[in-house]
């Protein structure tokens, strides 16, 4: 494949994190990624100065573009950016860059090896993770629940570090109902159950102590999503390209 890559950064009220981390990401991609790339700041309904900061960054750095989505939701932002993309590979990572960027080139390269989806996994052997015991327990419990309900091979559904071929995105994304945090899990369950090959890479990951994710409401949304897929059925999608 070795084609073009879109790196989507979904953001909501991230005026403070963007300047430093877009600079870091841009420098890294210039030096370490062989593929032609662009960074897409996907702003889902920010109410701070995220837009003006992003537009300044677009002027400062080649290969950075801004996309505004009028409604909140990480899944909604990714759907909009990925379905509109003309790149061969679509990907995303969290704006805080919690996952070590050294893992990104191997993530992209694994799609050359016949995988349709590649994900960072904080729960795989060899991963090095820094986060609270509470978050570690919740993460392991949630992913154990996924595997026990759906018998899927992946170990970490929610790590914000994923890449997939554009064909895979175009086949699966229209069937994903969730537009928020459950989006990742729904994507992976549909992909796994419909024959798409998923590669998971152990990663070095450091928790962002300033994260605004509300654990209780997110967990409630996730459980509802799992029950919907378990008892409502897995959508039928176009089978993966096996060439």
Whole-number pLDDT of residue 213: 58
**Containing domain of residue 130, as a range?**
5-232
Cα–Cα distance between 197 and 40 in angstroms, integer?
26
In-domain check, residue 177: yes
**Residue 238 lies inside a defined structural domain of this protein:** no
Residue 239 lies in a domain: no
Q: What confidence score (pLDDT) does residue 215 get?
A: 66
pLDDT given at position 243: 46
pLDDT of residue 179: 96
* Angle ∠(82,91,10) on CA atoms, nearest 5: 70
DSSP letters for 222-243 = HHHHHHHHHHH-PPP-PPPP--
**The pLDDT value given to residue 134:** 87
Query: How many other C-beta atoms are found inside a 10 Å radius of the C-beta of residue 19?
Result: 15
CA distances from 167 to 74, 164, 237, 239 (A): 21, 8, 12, 10
| Residue 77, pLDDT score | 97
Two structure tokens written together for 170 = 């175009």
List per-residue pLDDT tens for the chain, 243 residues long: 569 999 999 999 999 999 999 999 999 999 999 999 999 999 999 999 999 999 999 999 999 999 999 999 999 999 999 999 999 999 999 999 999 999 999 999 999 899 999 999 999 999 998 888 888 898 899 999 999 999 999 999 999 999 999 999 999 999 999 999 999 999 999 999 999 999 999 999 998 766 555 566 788 899 999 999 999 999 999 999 754
Residue 115 belongs to some domain of the structure: yes
Which distant-in-sequence residues (6+ apart) come within 8 Å of 178 by Cβ? Answer: 75, 186, 221, 225
**Number of structural domains found in the chain:** 1
Q: Is residue 101 part of a domain?
A: yes
| Contact yes or no for 73/179 (Cβ under 8 A) | yes
Does residue 222 belong to any structural domain of this protein?
yes
Rounded Cα distance, 117 and 225, in Å: 21
For the domain that residue 120 is a member of, what is the CATH number?
Answer: 3.90.550.10
- Let me know if residue 24 belongs to a domain: yes
What is the pTM (predicted TM-score) of this model? 0.94
43, 51 Cβ separation under 8 angstroms: yes
């Amino acid at each position: 494949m070795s084609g073009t890559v879109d790196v989507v950064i979904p953001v909501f009220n991230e005026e403070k994190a963007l300047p430093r981390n877009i600079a870091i990401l841009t420098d890294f991609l210039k030096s370490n990624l062989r593929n032609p790339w662009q960074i897409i700041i996907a702003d889902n309904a920010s109410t701070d100065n995220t837009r003006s900061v992003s537009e300044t960054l677009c002027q400062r750095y080649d290969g950075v573009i801004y996309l505004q989505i009028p409604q909140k939701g990480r899944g909604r932002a990714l759907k909009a950016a990925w379905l509109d993309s003309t790149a061969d590979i679509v990907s995303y990572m969290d704006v805080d860059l919690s996952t070590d960027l050294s893992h990104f080139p191997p993530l992209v390269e694994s799609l050359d090896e016949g995988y349709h989806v590649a994900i960072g996994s904080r729960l795989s052997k060899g991963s090095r993770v820094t986060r609270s015991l509470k978050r570690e327990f919740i993460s392991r419990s949630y992913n154990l629940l996924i595997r026990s309900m759906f018998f899927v091979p992946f170990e970490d559904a929610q790590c914000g570090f994923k890449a997939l071929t554009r064909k895979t995105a175009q086949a699966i994304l229209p069937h994903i109902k969730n537009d928020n945090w459950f989006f990742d899990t729904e994507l992976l369950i549909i992909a796994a159950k419909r024959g798409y090959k998923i590669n998971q890479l152990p990663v070095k990951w450091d928790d962002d102590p300033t994260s605004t994710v509300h654990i209780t409401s997110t967990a409630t949304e996730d459980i509802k999503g799992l029950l919907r897929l378990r008892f409502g059925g897995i959508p039928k999608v176009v089978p993966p390209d096996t060439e």
